Amino acid sequence: MSTWQGREIVDLLTDIIDREIVDPEGVPLGRVDDLELRSRDDGRTEVVALLTGTVALEPRLPRWALTLIRASARLTGGPDDPRRIPIEAITKVDTVVSITAAAAAAAASPSEERLKRKIIGRIPGADHASE
């Protein structure tokens, strides 16, 4: 039987969705909030990308949580479009989903970058002042 990442069976919700995404150094980038699927010419359906970001998570959230999430996203200048990580960028799946350095750079969170620039960066000592 053919395998994927060394597994014969991959249950998408159990094994991939909600797992943390990390770069090659183990730095967390977010969670797998959804998966993009595509119909192939042979009629089968394949997974083509991981989706991460609050907008990608919204379809699985209850209505009351959506209000809170959207309000907090607006505070950081969002909400942003889901970030898409091609399935080919996955290097390993265990308790976390590891991806390549190039994919990790492309999948950096815009809201996190804005938060660093606008708030964290203005805190005295935030720019490694002790070094």
* 74 counts as binding another protein under rule CB under 8 A: no
Least Å distance, CB 128 to another protein, is 40
How far apart are the C-alpha atoms of 131 and 127, rounded to whole Å?
9
How far apart are the C-alpha atoms of 112 and 119, rounded to whole Å?
10
Q: What is the DSSP string of 19-49?
A: PEEE-TT--EEEE--EEEEEE-TTS-EEEEE
Bond preceding residue 79 cis, omega within 30 of 0 = yes
* 14 counts as binding another protein under rule CB under 8 A: yes
* 65 counts as binding another protein under rule CB under 8 A: no
Q: Count residues contacting another protein (CB under 8 A)?
A: 31
Least Å distance, CB 116 to another protein, is 29
Least Å distance, CB 3 to another protein, is 5
Q: Applying CB under 8 A, which residues contact another protein? A: 1-5, 7-15, 17, 34-40, 43-47, 51, 59-60, 87
